[in-house]
Amino acid sequence: MEFWNTQILPRLTSVEVIEWFTFGVNILVYIFSSTIASRYGAIQDETRMKSRLRILHGFNLVVFITFISSVAIQSDQFPAGQISQSALTLLCAYLILHFAEVKLLARYGTASIVMGFTRRVETSTSRTLELLAYFIILVGSVVVLVNIWGLKDSLQTTGVLGFLALLVFITKDYWMRDFLSGILLISSERLGRGDVIAVPAENVLGIVLEIRSRQTHVRDLVHGHDIMLPNACLLTNRVDLYKRNPGGPFKDYVDFKIGYGASVRTVRNFLQAVHKQASEVGEDIDGGQDTLLIALKENEDHAARWRLVYVLKNPHRMLAVRDAVNLAAYELQENFGLNISTPTTHLVESRGANSASTSSSVASTKSPDKS
């Protein structure tokens, strides 16, 4: 009891009111942290919810350590009150930012189902309002922190402002270009979550999972892994969007190289049969004959290049449909007297030392890209 009266109680009574208030707010945030984070989980996903929960617990730990330090260290040189006010400011700023993002995404976002999961997708309105909220909260927090630490006199000189301007100028190449590109991508509303895209310059073919402030996350269609692309890459390079548009349904194609000697009628019957069999495998390709297009694209040296164009219902299954078309062609080749293999050219030497080339009657199939 004597130790409590002589050591602990004097230290507790010397703690400032703002420190007690900060500690009380910290306890309430810790108690309701799961409820606060779960509101974000209901909007987006479990992983992001757990990340928000870890950040909240990190703030709780910092405030708790600050309070214990102010009680343990009894010194006029230790700015316990300023540290507590700073911790409270950062904690409140994070909570306000969290609730603003949740409310704006719930109010102005749109629901999207990607690979069986429902998510709230940012729109140009929600993203613009979020950036505005970020800016207001950031400026407000900086103003409060400047007043807490008494840096108003320093800001009146050009030292701090010049340093901040120099820092922004040095780091602008690392974040500004991608940050502005992200705003342009979102505001254009042409590229969004769930869209299938191809970036030939980066050899990428996948599904857009999320467009963040600096990077776009893409799920590779071939390997199934995630790819992180800088936002500026999507603006400076060609991007193919495989989705429905006002111009009509999305179409895809597979090219076949068929050797000379096969009649046009045989080739057309063959490709129609390929289309019919591929459409019977799944519902991702439109099986109607009126949606089918067969065209002779080029008379090459070794073979004629024919194109089978079909309507694809689900771009997410683009590679699977191409595989089904090629498999159907392989299985039906003998029924139409065709042989799917690489056409070759034979050089024949005549007695007059002249050479003539003849093409074999074999064929090969080819998809329109490396996938």
Name the helix (H) or strand (E) containing 72: helix 46-72
Which of 299, 295, 329, 298 has its CA nearest to residue 309?
295
> pTM for this structure?
0.54
Tens digits of per-residue pLDDT, 259-300?
888 889 999 999 999 999 998 887 788 878 778 899 998 888
Q: How far apart are CA 261 and CA 337, in angstroms?
A: 11
Q: How far apart are CA 217 and CA 226, in angstroms?
A: 7
Q: How far apart are CA 246 and CA 228, in angstroms?
A: 29
Q: How far apart are CA 362 and CA 346, in angstroms?
A: 12
Q: Where are the domains of the chain?
A: 10-108+126-156, 158-243, 251-366
Q: How far apart are CA 230 and CA 353, in angstroms?
A: 59
144-149 mean pLDDT = 80
Which has more pLDDT, 204 or 171?
204
> Could you confirm whether domain 251-366 is CATH 3.30.70.1130?
yes
Q: Decide the pairing of beta strands 226-230 and 204-211.
A: unpaired
Which of 276, 256, 253 has its CA nearest to residue 267?
256
Q: What is the mean pLDDT of the chain?
A: 76
CA distances from 365 to 48, 292, 307 (A): 44, 18, 10
* Reduced DSSP (H G I as helix, E B as strand, rest coil) percent helix, strand, coil of the chain, to 5: 55, 20, 25
Q: How far apart are CA 310 and CA 314, in angstroms?
A: 12
> Could you confirm whether domain 158-243 is CATH 2.30.30.60?
yes
104-115 mean pLDDT = 72
